[in-house]
Amino acid sequence: MVFSFPAPNVARTARGGKAIYGAPIGILMLETRFARVPGDVGNGGTWPFPVLYRVVRGANAETVVLNGARGLLPAFIEAGRELVELGAEGIATSCGFLSLFQQELAAALGVPVATSALMQVPWVQATLPPGKRVGVVTVRAGSLTPAHLEAAGAPLDTPMIGTEGGQEFHRVLVDGASTDLDLALAEQDIIAAGQTLVARHSEVGAIVLECTNMPPYAASLAEAVGMPVYDVVSLISWLHAGLRPRRYA
C-alpha cells in the first residue's frame, strides 16, 4: 500500500525508466491501527517536503519491537525497492528498532538509508561538552538491545529509559490496548520518562527519542528537561537536506 503526499504542482515524470512522483524520501511503515497525529512519522503533514509511504505487511509492534523483526528483512527490502522504483532517493523507516536492518537495507537498496533515530546518538554526542552524554527515551527499554545500539553506531552503555511504566503511550502503541491515543497522557508519559532519565543519569546533556511516534512531544520534553531533544523528524529532515540542498540564488 502506497500513500503519497506530493508537493503542489509537482508533475510525474520519468527518469531512467523509473516513475518519479516528486518525493525524494520514501518511508517504510509498520502496520498499525492507531491515529497518526501531526508530528508523527506517519502523518504527511509532519513534513515540509513530499514523502512516499509503503506499509510493510507483517511488520508491527509485536513482530518488530517485541520479537526483534525476525524474518522480516526480505519484506523490508522488497518494499524499499518498490519505493526506489517510484523515485525515492532516500529511505527511512517508521520504527527506531529497525536499526537492526541498517546495513542490509543500505546494501540492497542502493540509495541513502536512515533506519533509526538512534543513528543520531554519535552525532549529537560530538556536539556536547566534556562530561556530558546522550540519553535515549525508547518505547520499550526491555526490548532495545545492544545489537540495536551497535547497528546504529551508538555506545552500548548509552543511558536509556522506556515508557513501559507510563499510563498511555506504551499501552496503545505496543500493547495495542486501544486505537485511540490520549495525547495529553502520552505527552505526560514522554516527559516523565525523560525526567526520570535525567534524574538517574546526571551526565545526560541531550536526548534522542527512539520511537517515531514521539516527535509530537519533543518540544514539551525539551522544555521540561532544559536540553536538546532529537527524533526521527530531525533525522529525516537531515537526510532530505542532503538530497535536496537549498538553493540561495
In a 13 Å sphere around the CA of 114, the CA atoms on its Cβ side amount to 27
Residue 135 has pLDDT above 70, yes or no: yes
Q: pLDDT tens digits, residue range 179-233? A: 888 999 999 999 999 999 999 999 999 999 999 999 999 999 999 999 999 999 9
**CA–centroid distance for 20 within its chain:** 24
Rounded to an integer, what distance in angstroms lies between the CA atom of residue 74 and that of residue 211? Answer: 23
**Ranges in the chain annotated CATH 3.40.50.1860:** 2-116+235-243, 117-231
Q: pLDDT tens digits, residue range 221-246? A: 999 999 999 999 999 999 999 999 99
| DSSP at 236 | H
Residue 9 has pLDDT above 80, yes or no: no
Question: What per-residue confidence (pLDDT) applies to 103?
Answer: 98
Residue 182, Cβ neighbours under 10 Å: how many? 15
Task: Determine whether domain 2-116+235-243 maps to CATH 3.40.50.620.
Answer: no
* Cell numbers given for 182: 490520549
Question: What per-residue confidence (pLDDT) applies to 16?
Answer: 52
Helical (H) or strand (E) element with 92? strand 90-93
| Fold type of domain 117-231 | Rossmann fold (3.40.50)
Question: What per-residue confidence (pLDDT) applies to 21?
Answer: 72
Residue 94 has pLDDT above 80, yes or no: yes
Averaged pLDDT score across all residues of the chain? 92
Question: What pTM does this model have?
Answer: 0.91
